[in-house]
A and B are shown apart, each in its own frame.
Chain A
Amino acid sequence: MSTNKLNSPAELVALKERLEKNRNANKTVVTVCAGTGCMACGCDAVLKTFREECANDRLENEVEIKATGCHGFCERGPLVVVHPLGVFYQRVKPADAKLIWEQTVKGGHLVNKLLYRDPQSNQIVKNEKDIPFYKKQMRIIFGKNGFMDPTAINDYILLGGYQALAMALTKMTPEQIIDEVKKSGLRGRGGGGFPTGKKWATCRAVKVEPKYTICNADEGDPGAFMDRSLLEGNPHQVIEGMLIGAYAIGSHEGFVYVRNEYPLAVKNLTIAIKAARDCGFLGENILGTGFSFDIEISRGGGAFVCGESTALMASLEGKVGEPRAKYIHTVESGLWDKPSNLNNVETWANVPPIIERGAEWFASIGTDNSKGTKVFALTGKVNNTGLVEVPMGITLREILYDIGGGVPRGKKFKAVQTGGPSGGTLIVETAEPKIHASMVAYGDLRDEDEAISLLDLPVDFDELTRAGSMMGSGGMIVMDEDSCMVDIARYFIHFLTEESCGKCVPCREGLVVMLNILQKISEGKGTIEDIEYLEELSQVIIDTSLCQLGGSAPNPVRSTIRYFRQEFLAHVIDKRCPAGVCKDLVSHAIDNTCNGCHACLKSCPTNAIVGEPKRLHYIIQDKCIQCGACYQICRYNSIKRIKHGEGDKLQERARELWQPPLKKVTAEVA
């Protein structure tokens, strides 16, 4: 590291000024997103091409090629932004990189085919910030990601990094910091939404040494990856947040518990910690203020339950991740029975902006009880998947339509799942009287209430909880008409039976019982009683589970029954899976819109599909194993999933068409 150790806040300011002076504002910077999403799409090859071109043209001094953290718009990766023009290119292949180099970097022209085209208006959008996906976002956590190389601490300092730390250490007492965080209304972003300031205050009040500061980066929620992107793209902001927190509660040792499945996050964080140590932000006598703090990385072993604070601490101690009762809080007795303050990655990342810009500013964003922004991982059946950072209180409609861009392939929105396996599935399909009736039956609505869809639900901690889900760590999975709610419920319970630590009875045994019942229902063997059993079991599991994993485990089932009781009833009474997912209740058939493209025929593993090119195809019902491969392939929505046993009804014409050769085959065989 070229930077020498900084011994006072003044030296930090001086360093920043020096860096600013050295920077050429007009220098062309090509940033390539090197987040995991873009990495998977081959951004390293793009990056390589840029570097090669740059070297060939001997422009190293004029042009800087930068691999940055995640920009969020993973759907369109790999992403390339050319500064200072601010041109945003998407889906860039290595060959395109050459083109960009020639045209934009050297020539200053745009490459139109790589620019973002708004699907609605068909307008070309040049700048990143004008793309609808980014327009409604408010990126106070992710803002720096696109401008910095996560492995270069100078980039972070240049963007104003560690200023908040310097301010906190020199101008504020720990009590003032806690007060500021309290006033900001920041709540834990890991799931529960516990007020962060209050937590810190309790931890500070405990008169036991040493105290530990822990960062929970064991992002186990399937469908959430904002912590990963933060650690990969901007690890320093998390470190800075932890430093401020540690100073506030009086802790000198910190741990980051990060999933081993995130190798890039581990790598970047390791580099960042080392750089911070070299610069004097970590270690003894930080910035000459006498405060000491250091961070160790601990790589997790892959267990969803380790996202629970007590289980995480057990895991940190080198034991199996078994939670214990939280009748005594971890801030009083946590890691090695010492006071331990645990917050998740996003929470820590929120701290520096609060200190830097003040509690009032932060509190002005969001709703009454939920302040600031929240990063959501928007995934599933939505056009613009990726990470979105939005102010609290934004409606689901805005997220799904304005930012997400609607459902692909012209399907209908059905539901949105938030909070991962601990959260719930919320209905967002257009209000239907049928569903309204089921909600009335459940007692969630009175008859005179209007039938609603939750599309206009403002998203914050309390509203989501009230609706039967939770914020969780911010996974937001969109489902369309092809998703079966029984299947989703079964999926989550299955996930949880595997991820439960197995310590307490309700979670270990109760979930197995629930899974068994859901399995029965999805096989068409369920009864009305089974739905009641599910509700009863849910209540007891929530009441008596030892930790929050069990305590929230039945949420996916409860919420799906609450909003989609009709669909459960369809499985139980009509023995029908409306979405066509439950294999035992479904038949695949081809309707008359088939244009005979042959794609399905090739994909069929059992050769159940017959048909000549450009003619109507036919699925031989006896051979079909309902694997769904053809359904996934068909671009014309010609494959239908209908009630089991009714396949041939739909295929009458096709069958007639194919009867003769079928007969011939049988004759030959005979």
Chain B
Amino acid sequence: MTVATEPKYDLQSKIDEIVGEYGAKPTALIMILQDVQKHYRYLPEDALRAVAKSMKLPLAQIYGVATFYRTFTLKPIGKNHICVCTGTACHVRQAVVIVDKLERDLGIRAGETTANGEVSLETVNCLGACALGPLVTANGIYYGNMTVNKVEKMMSDVLHKKRVSETTEEAA
């Protein structure tokens, strides 16, 4: 898998730049990968190789780290990122019904991306906003106290890039 839009030499210099910010300390590996992922929206294979080269760490270690932590994804994710919290508090408030609904509507399983690359659906184990459960975040925007009825509204907001506050206001 290569990043089609970016020539390889650019990739290496971009990675060098990110690594340089942390001074190539092994301690910073996780944070460096986070920044790389932020830039590319996922961790491309070439980028990981570039990180290995730049940090002088074994590629195997970096690959192990990239697959171990949940933050990282090695596959490109959709343009819109829907994340349903399935932490305990959300679970007891029926988050699973929300996940079911989204899976049905989008036609994908949690952890997958729709075929057109528009939406990725993911579950996460706790977002730390348990008082608002069940909680869904769409592109980083929090939708608290979700019910199945609010899902469609939320999705249309997400797909049409509506303003944040309007929706959450109604949700509250």
Contact = CB atoms under 8 A, between A and B. Distances in A.
Interface in B107-144: 124-133, 135, 142-144
A257 to B, nearest CB: 10
A380 B31 CA distance: 33
B149 A225 contact: no
Interface string A93-113: 110000000000000000000
A319 B71 contact: no
Interface in A338-377: 377
Which interface residue of A301, A377, A491 has the most chain B CB atoms within 10 A?
A301
B148 interface: yes
Contact of B88 (A37, A317, A321, A477): A477
A370 B130 CA distance: 26
B59 interface: no
A296 B23 CA distance: 13
B97 interface: yes
A605 B101 contact: yes
A363 B127 CA distance: 34
Interface string A122-156: 00000000000000000000000000000000000
B125 A499 contact: yes
Given A39-B142, A93-B169, A228 B128 contact: yes
A298 B129 contact: no
Contact of A298 (B31, B65, B68, B128): B31
A40 B168 contact: yes
B2 interface: no
Contact of B165 (A94, A262, A298, A602): A94
B148 A603 contact: yes
B132 A491 contact: no
The B interface, classified by DSSP as helix, strand, loop or mixed, is helix
B12 interface: no
Interface in B42-88: 57, 61, 64-65, 68-72, 86-88
B89 A605 contact: no
B142 A380 contact: no
Contacts of A488: 91-92
A547 interface: no
Contacts of A495: 125
A234 interface: no
B125 A301 contact: no
A74 interface: yes
A528 interface: no
Given A301-B70, A632-B147, A74 B131 contact: yes
Interface in B8-64: 25-31, 33-34, 57, 61, 64
Interface stretch (A80-88, A189-197, A215-223): A215-223
A225 B148 contact: no
A287 interface: no
A224 B135 CA distance: 14
A36 B68 CA distance: 27
A627 B101 contact: yes
Contact of B65 (A304, A319, A499): A319
Interface in A463-510: 475, 477-479, 483, 488, 491-492, 495, 498-499, 501
Given A42-B168, A302-B70, A633-B147, A479 B92 contact: yes
A93 B165 CA distance: 10
A276 interface: no
A250 B46 CA distance: 43
A379 B130 contact: yes
A344 B107 CA distance: 41
Interface string A612-649: 00000000000000011100110000000000000000
Interface string A24-41: 000000000000110111
A40 to B, nearest CB: 3
Contacts, number: 193
Contact of A42 (B26, B34, B57, B172): B172
Contacts of B147: 632-633
Given A42-B172, A299-B34, A302-B70, A222 B88 contact: yes
A420 B88 CA distance: 8
A94 B169 contact: yes
Contacts of B70: 301-303
Contacts of B93: 380-381
B101 A629 contact: yes
A633 to B, nearest CB: 6
Contacts of A39: 142
A372 B102 CA distance: 44
A268 to B, nearest CB: 14
Nearest to A315: B30
Interface in A294-314: 296, 298-304
Given A302-B71, A483-B92, A632-B147, A318 B26 contact: yes
A429 interface: no
A405 to B, nearest CB: 13
Interface in B137-167: 142-144, 147-149, 164-165
Contacts of B129: 36-37, 40, 74, 225
Which interface residue of B68, B168, B169 has the most chain A CB atoms within 10 A?
B68
A222 B148 contact: no
B128 A321 contact: no
Contacts of A629: 97, 100-101, 148
Contacts of A93: 169, 172
A339 to B, nearest CB: 17
A599 B148 CA distance: 11
14 contacts: A37-B132, A40-B168, A41-B144, A74-B131, A222-B91, A260-B34, A301-B34, A304-B125, A380-B89, A380-B133, A381-B92, A479-B92, A491-B88, A632-B94
Interface of B: 25-31, 33-34, 57, 61, 64-65, 68-72, 86-94, 96-97, 100-101, 104, 124-133, 135, 142-144, 147-149, 164-165, 168-169, 171-172
Give 9 closest A-B pairs by Cβ, nearest first: A301-B69, A222-B87, A40-B142, A74-B131, A318-B29, A222-B126, A379-B89, A385-B131, A225-B128
Given A41-B144, A377-B89, 5 more contacts: A93-B169, A319-B64, A379-B89, A380-B133, A387-B131
